Chain A
Amino acid sequence: MAVNYSGGTQNQQELAEIQKELYAESFTIREGLIDINQGFKSGVDVYESSATVTASAFSTAGVDSATGDINLNANKTGVPLVSYQFEDQLDENSLKGTRFERSMARGAFNINSGEFDREVLIQVAPAIGETIENWIWNGANTATKALIAGLTPGAGQGSISAGAQTLVAAMPSTYFNSLPTTILYNNSNAKATPGAGLGDYIKVPSIATVTADTIGAEYAKMYAITPSKTINHMSEPSEIFAPLGDRQLIKLANNKVSATADNKNFLIEGSGTSEVISYNGHKINFVPLVGFRIFAIPSYLKLLADLVSDVSTLKIGEVANGAMRRYIKNVQTMATWVVGQKYITLYGG
């Protein structure tokens, strides 16, 4: 008996799992790699202070302010925070005729797919998280980009390098300045020359392209020029903040097989989520830096926010006037800041 059928064929099964994009994790905020402060709506005053003392010859006379030499210094810098948003409208009518149609409730008004929400819409929060993680370490607003481009470059300490200017020019334009950008240019009143201009960071001279062959030598240059005070600050040990790719270069360097590759410059302990990599006893944090590396006491690097959990807060609701669309919106307020600038080493600066 012949079987006669027309109308085309269709797959009768589907792979249940919908493969989701891989998003970089927001380690900086989740793990508190730097000093994260919240509760600021539009701006915050940051204070820095210091004392200098000089001894004088013993005397039984009264304390004399004219010959005494104890100087107490305090200063304040106002740091503005920037608000920005991610928003759009969702029209799920285009999902009709797909697997997502099965999870739409009955009734022509109902075109929102529960499965689409669970499997696809859920990715908006990690995508925003990845964006903010990138912005903290790589990005500059257009005004700061122009100001950094206008600095006079030179090789000595106290001058920006031409390489740093090139790196900043290539940064994505963002709503708040990344940490390297803030280190390079800020208006702190705690600097040797207070006010807007080049930061007081320590530059690493004579740097070369970082590869598996050179990474040990390049980290040595960064370590050697960092002030001993920073290296020996045991109450809060200084840490290294390095590009994500350095993890691979470090392992390639450490595991190199050759007659001369007998130096393991980096200590690698544990694996997976518990892996800790350090250099000369200083933990290395792998973050989305591009070209720059930072060696600093972590709390000297600051992320200032209205509410840090805003990063993963999404408001979703029906659009007004009977529209069959939903809105989705995320709003955040942030800025980066640095203190104790003269103790911050910026490789690439």
Chain B
Amino acid sequence: MSKNTKNPLEKGVSYEDFLSNVKGKETVESLLKKLKLDKDTFEWLTTELNNYKQTKTK
């Protein structure tokens, strides 16, 4: 079964997989908003993805 890389909460979906969907008009925020997450999960994923991007650019 293929992974839904647009849902970072799905087991086996890495942040790299999820961020590969950020292109064109799609942003991290727009992708996360589509998942209708609760506030804590939305903020946690935003922080996680920022941490990931910062670590990756080091």
A residues lining the B interface (CB < 8 Å) = 149, 152-159, 161-163, 165-166, 169, 205-208, 217, 221
Contact = CB atoms under 8 A, between A and B. Distances in A.
B28 interface: no
B16 A152 contact: yes
A156 B8 contact: yes
8 contacts: A156-B8, A162-B49, A162-B52, A163-B47, A166-B51, A206-B41, A208-B40, A208-B43
A161 B43 CA distance: 14
B12 A155 contact: no
B2 to A, nearest CB: 15
Contacts of A169: 55
B25 interface: no
A161 B14 contact: no
Contact of A154 (B13, B44, B47): B13
B15 A153 contact: yes
Contact of A156 (B12, B49, B51): B12
Contacts of A152: 14, 16
Nearest to B50: A162
A103 to B, nearest CB: 53
Contacts of B44: 155, 205-208
Interface in B13-49: 13-18, 38, 40-41, 43-45, 47-49
Nearest to A161: B48
Contact of A157 (B11, B15, B49, B52): B11
Contacts of B10: 156
The secondary-structure label for the interface of chain B is: helix
A156 B55 contact: no
A157 B10 CA distance: 8
B14 to A, nearest CB: 4
A153 B48 contact: yes
Nearest to A221: B40
A11 B44 CA distance: 61
Contacts of A149: 55
Contacts of A153: 14-15, 48, 52
Per CB-CB distance, the 7 closest pairs between chain A and chain B, nearest first, are A162-B51, A162-B52, A156-B11, A206-B41, A154-B14, A206-B40, A155-B8
Nearest to B9: A155
Which one of A153, A155, A166, A169 has the highest number of Cβ atoms from chain B below 10 Å of its Cβ? A155
B55 A205 contact: no
Contacts of B12: 154, 156, 158-159
